[in-house]
Amino acid sequence: MLISPDDQLSFEKSRPGRRGASLPADRCAKDKLFEKIPDHFKRRRPLLFPELSEPEIVRHFVNLSRKNFSIDTHFYPLGSCTMKYNPKVNEWAAGLDAFANLHPLQLEKTTQGILKVMWDLEGYLREITGMDRFTLQPAAGAHGELTGMMLVRAYHDALGQTKRKKVLVPDSSHGTNPASAALLGFHVIELKSNARGRVDLETLEKHLDDETACLMLTNPNTLGLFEEEIMQITKRVHEKGALLYYDGANLNALMGIARPGDMGFDIVHLNLHKTFSTPHGGGGPGSGPVGVRAKLVPYLPVPLVTQQGQNYKLDFDNKKTIGRVKSFYGNTGMLLRAYVYIRSLGREGLFKASEDAILNANYLKEKLKVAYKVAVDEPCMHEFVLSLKSAGVHAGDVGKRLLDYGFHAPTVHFPLVVEEALMIEPTESESKETLDLFVKAMIEIAKEIIEEPDKVRMAPHTMPIRRPDEVMAARRPILSYRDQLRERILLAEGAPT
Amino acid sequence: MHYQPLSTEDKQAVLDGIGVADINELLKGVPSSLRHPKINIPPALSELEVQRLLRELGSMNQCVGSSLSFLGAGSYEHFVPAAVAEVTRRNEFYTAYTPYQAEASQGTLQSIYEYQSLMTELTGLDISNASHYDGATSMAEAALLALRHTDRTRVLVSEAVHPHYREVLKTYLRGTPYEVEEFGLNADRTFNVDDFKSKLNDQVAGAIFQSPNFFGVLEDLEGLSDKLHGLGALMILVGHPLAYGALTCPGEWGADVAVGEGQPLGIGLQYGGPYLGYFAATRSLMRRIPGRLCGMTQDSEGRRAFTLTIQAREQHIRRERATSNICTNQALCALAACAYMTLLGKEGIREVSEINMDRAYYLRSRIGKLTGFEVDMKTPIFNEFVVKSAKPFSRIQEKLVKKNIFPGVEITQFYPKFKNEFLVCATETKTREQMDAFVEKLAKC
Amino acid sequence: MNFPKELRYTKSHEWARREGEKVVCGITEYAQKEISDVVFVEVPKRGQAAEQAKAVAVVESVKAAFDIYAPMSGKVSQVNADLESRPELVNQDCYGQGWFFEIEASDPSEWDKLMTAEEYEKNIQNESVK
């Protein structure tokens, strides 16, 4: 394996005796404290941590960062992920000592500022979605889904409807939907979408019965299409006594345009790291508040934040609560950022965000239509899906080739209902010039697919690495530095490769 | 709207490009009954006004930074080298997405790999995942792993495990065929071995211990893993990660899974989150570990490369048959922990672990000598201990908070049976003078 | 593609070979090629009960996971432990070293419900036409 100095691990750069941090030398307790602790409480196993000085460590990480694409360096049209700009004032606020340095178990009267932020944020989320109450506890979208499905179960159980074990999920849904439902013992049934990529009312009716607990829906769906028959869908589900769950992954299309609460949804999860501009952090932390209609409020996790006169408090008193889903109160630092975002944009700014996201997506779709097949060619919401079926290269290849042109890849091979799907979500953060450059690159790639397909199939050509061998990674997993050392010994002993 | 580049003219050009006169033409599919909802949100503020507002809101908080705090109980004030924030504030890290495109994410991927390497070292186990939401949720996922792995129905958990963690575990298992059973405490707040043993049977998938436990006490876990393994059950250990710099690590105790709160590893208090759930396990559990794993491999030219691996367990492939529904990890918090552990290094981690004990033992012996306060001087501890006061704790707290001192966390709110007890935490951030000042004020309460 | 005549087959692309009372099972060359690089096989536990056409094992490629169904009912009497460290055997030698498990058949008549090599080949052709 070739390793350039730039690619060395901190462990490999380590040299005995170097230090990267200084600590106080004084000790308070009487001498030889450590000797009094029974021996079997002391660590014997050597700690194979790197030994490096601060400048080496800083350079190590800064150079690592330079191998990443990010929103602040590149256009990132990753469908379903809403890679919008992360405003810097959000980070500034979260960094204020008055918020960053608050302990979660302080007396409430010493934390009125953050509690007010949480209370007001909840109010804004209620307004935007049309729901009656929110828990801010879930740490991510998938965690919100899990919480939401726990609420579904608690609700039906309380009504004695214990045989409601079926959860309906369209075949275009996010993988987390069936996974969250199944984790709680629900029986998941996939609904086949109709020719226009939407929920088929007849199929829905066929599966709806008195054993159905819930329909989980993303609207606009993962094809970027609004479910036009949403009012009929929610009506029929409710008629059968089941609940409606709204996956908020695509809420960026709807702020000020329509509300899940008005559509008839009973439970909503939001992704603050998508719609409300908190950073994705390379895969978290996120935040996934869950909103519900009045009938489900008694089941929400505790504590809830409430207002009493001029004061804010944590309310642990929710009679039928499903319990706690996380320690403390949620990813508060993320809640604060979302609050700052909403205050900065205000009502009109939020509307404009959704409108611009829709305009940008439709603009790209129209411009790309000349060279690519659109999965469902209708006006889209904030994202759309191309299909590379019969193009001669995979959707993933086009994604990788885009990296060479300086654009992050769109979401590829999702949704599963479209063969060779390429899902593009530009968000409102991009200028028309950036969109035009992206179109140019895509048209160029379309030409390459015909004229020099291998260039696309072998892409990327300009990244720090070429395509990694994923088969090797999965067959003989090397997941830590110690694994590497172990693998080296195994190889030396002649183990099969 | 300075985050949104489309000007009025741009908007017209975009509409022309689409070939519509007005955005409403694109929204025909949205039923008119839904359109134009009335949304009551205040109008936009300029950035200057936002900053002013946030400073005002901030002034309604009395933060640990400008006080003297002895609060712990699952969230800890520790020294964080300035370089940690320099790393996590790199735009290329914090504004990136999950590293699905390995070629454009080697920075994030290598940092996860290094994080996994550091966590396996610290815990003494074979494999660490890329992190979980927090300590409580990683413990719940560990219990689920044990239940699935052994195909059994019961999980035992010590009453000395953090109350929030036990609550989350119960929430996760409610309505499933699985059950949680707790085993009780001794007078010194260690777990009761006899009670534990009496609850063992062939349906026990695993047992969960915490050390240092919620009361700050180090548990003697000798022989427990053998006992559990003999019954075909797993041992799950929760703990403060910095304790393992100097104290026996989960691997040495024979634990199969180590989980806990990674916040002490360079992550700020932030009123309870975002934090970091660490999750490490033995090799035999590799295919059952929930969450992301990053592996080392090579690219098509034979260069070292990192990629997410063993993904077939995950929700985006397995859907309803996935090992967990988890999608994101806490990558940025894991990066902070990675930078922190690298900076502290081999010696620093051990030292910081020892300084925590030094401060906590000192403070405990000082408070132990005060009249009106009781502490157990014999139990081994890491950085927290229980204080019982003769007077109601709420009154002590009221008084001291006014003097900008947070004396500790009331235990009664979690364990109603323990009256007027509070948990005092002293980390390496405390000086002798600060602790003396605290003791002096406590004496006057 | 090679489908040995002495084996029997299922619609879900498993093969079965009779060895006295016992039946050795694996996946066919067609299945192995469709899955492409096998990276992991989760074999059943020894002693586990198997029911004809019910999932007992899982095969993983980098991007997908597939259930493997028992060709016949009975008790799992042997499993191929080599697959744990060398899943590639499934690709290299699917009818030999890449076998999955052996079943002590409880109902020998089930054998006759399985497809012959000829029937299986026809079945694949029909499938690919669809």
Tell me the CATH number for domain A89-344.
3.40.640.10
The DSSP code for A30 is P
* B213 plus B270 within the same structural domain: yes
Cβ A339 vs Cβ A117: under 8 Å: yes
Q: Determine, yes or no, domain membership for C130.
A: no
- Tell me the residue range of the domain where C19 lies: 8-107+115-120
The CATH number of the domain holding residue C99 is: 2.40.50.100
Q: How far apart are CA A339 and CA A117, in angstroms?
A: 7
Q: Determine, yes or no, domain membership for C127.
A: no
How many Cβ atoms sit within 10 Å of the Cβ of residue B341?
31
Q: Which of A22, A40, A64 to mutate to test the interface with B (most CBs of B within 10 A)?
A: A64
* B272 plus B176 within the same structural domain: yes
Amino acid at site A71: I
Q: How far apart are CA B319 and CA A15, in angstroms?
A: 45
* B184 plus B251 within the same structural domain: yes
* B133 plus B279 within the same structural domain: yes
Q: At a CB cut-off of 8 Å and minimum separation 6, what does B404 contact?
A: B62, B66, B67, B68
Its ipTM equals 0.97
Contact B346 A107 (CB under 8 A): no
Q: How far apart are CA A112 and CA A98, in angstroms?
A: 11
Q: How far apart are CA A483 and CA A48, in angstroms?
A: 13
The DSSP code for B303 is B
Q: Determine, yes or no, domain membership for B187.
A: yes
Q: What is the CA radius of gyration of chain C?
A: 14
The per-residue pLDDT string of chain A (497 residues; one tens digit each, 9 = 90 and over) reads 777 777 899 999 999 999 999 999 999 987 677 778 899 999 999 999 999 999 999 999 999 999 999 999 999 999 999 999 999 999 999 999 999 999 999 999 999 999 999 999 999 999 999 999 999 999 999 999 999 999 999 999 999 999 999 999 999 998 889 989 988 889 999 999 999 999 999 999 999 999 999 999 999 999 999 999 999 999 999 999 999 999 999 999 999 999 999 999 999 999 999 999 999 999 999 999 999 999 999 999 999 999 999 999 999 998 899 999 999 999 999 999 999 999 999 999 999 999 999 999 999 999 999 999 999 999 999 999 999 999 999 999 999 999 999 999 999 998 989 999 999 999 999 999 999 999 999 999 999 999 999 999 999 999 999 999 999 999 999 999 999 998 888 777 765 54
Q: Determine, yes or no, domain membership for B353.
A: yes
* B108 plus B137 within the same structural domain: yes
Return the bridge partners of A24, or none: none
Report how many domains make up chain B.
2
3-class SS of residue A113: helix
The CATH number of the domain holding residue B371 is: 3.90.1150.10
Cα angle, residue A82 at apex, residues A356 and A190 outer, rounded to 5°: 115
* B391 plus B361 within the same structural domain: yes
The minimal CB distance from A140 to the residues B93, B130, B327 is found for: B327
Set of chain C residues whose Cβ sits within 8 Å of the Cβ of A496 = 85-86
Last residue of a domain, one of B310, B325, B340: B340
Q: Determine, yes or no, domain membership for C96.
A: yes
Set of chain A residues whose Cβ sits within 8 Å of the Cβ of C62 = 470-471, 474
* B271 plus B357 within the same structural domain: no
Picking from B210, B216, B219, the residue whose alpha carbon sits closest to that of residue B190 is B219
Contact A469 B300 (CB under 8 A): yes
Specify the DSSP element, H or E, that contains A242.
none
- pTM, rounded to two decimals: 0.96
Picking from B121, B117, B145, B148, the residue whose alpha carbon sits closest to that of residue B130 is B117
Q: How far apart are CA A400 and CA C78, in angstroms?
A: 44
The CATH number of the domain holding residue B285 is: 3.40.640.10
Contact A474 C86 (CB under 8 A): no
Picking from C1, C4, C111, C89, the residue whose alpha carbon sits closest to that of residue C43 is C89
Report how many domains make up chain C.
1
Q: Determine, yes or no, domain membership for C125.
A: no
CA distances from B87 to A333, B97, B242 (A): 18, 16, 21
Last residue of a domain, one of B308, B340, B372: B340
> What are the residue ranges spanned by the domains of chain A?
5-65, 89-344
Contact B99 A94 (CB under 8 A): no
Contact B312 C42 (CB under 8 A): no
Contact C60 A470 (CB under 8 A): no
For β-strands A243-247 and A212-218, DSSP reports them as parallel
The minimal CB distance from A42 to the residues B103, B248, B351 is found for: B248
Phi, psi of A102 (to 5 degrees): -105, 130
Tokens of C102: 């052996």
Chain A contact present for B21, CB below 8 A? no
Write down the pLDDT at residue A493: 72
Q: At a CB cut-off of 8 Å and minimum separation 6, what does A446 contact?
A: A371, A372
Phi, psi of A107 (to 5 degrees): -60, 140
Q: Determine, yes or no, domain membership for B32.
A: no
Q: How far apart are CA A108 and CA A386, in angstroms?
A: 51
CA-based torsion, A341, A347, A351, A352: positive or negative = negative
Q: At a CB cut-off of 8 Å and minimum separation 6, what does A494 contact?
A: none
Tokens of B438: 């605290």
Cα angle, residue C54 at apex, residues C53 and C56 outer, rounded to 5°: 120
Contact B317 C64 (CB under 8 A): yes
Set of chain A residues whose Cβ sits within 8 Å of the Cβ of C60 = 474
Q: How far apart are CA A354 and CA B4, in angstroms?
A: 10
Set of chain C residues whose Cβ sits within 8 Å of the Cβ of B287 = 40, 42
Q: Determine, yes or no, domain membership for B76.
A: yes
Tokens of A113: 């500022």
Distance from CA of B231 to the nearest CA of A (A): 24
Tokens of A412: 């590829």
CA-based torsion, A230, A236, A239, A245: positive or negative = negative
* B137 plus B214 within the same structural domain: yes
Q: Determine, yes or no, domain membership for B320.
A: yes
Set of chain A residues whose Cβ sits within 8 Å of the Cβ of C85 = 496
Q: What is the CA radius of gyration of chain A?
A: 26
* B137 plus B71 within the same structural domain: no
pLDDT, tens digit (0-9, with 9 covering 90-100), for B154-193 = 999 999 999 999 999 999 999 889 999 999 999 999 999 9
- Tell me the residue range of the domain where B387 lies: 64-80+346-443
